[in-house]
Amino acid sequence: MQDNSRSRFPEEISIIGSKRETARQEFTARKKILDLLQEKGPLTVPEVARALGISTHEANWWLMGFWRYNKVKAGEKADDQGYYQYSLVEGQ
What does the pLDDT average to over 60-70?
94
Number of other CB atoms surrounding residue 47 within 10 Å: 17
Domain that holds residue 10: 5-88
Phi, psi of 76 (to 5 degrees): -70, -40
Please state the domain count of the chain: 1
The pLDDT value recorded for residue 10 is 57
pLDDT of residue 17: 60
Contact 74, 84 (CB under 8 A): yes
The pLDDT tens digits of the residues spanning 6-60 come to: 556 555 555 566 666 666 777 788 899 999 999 999 999 999 999 999 999 999 9
Question: Contact 43/85 with Cβ under 8 angstroms?
Answer: yes
pTM for the structure as a whole:
0.72
- CATH number at 54 reads 1.10.10.10
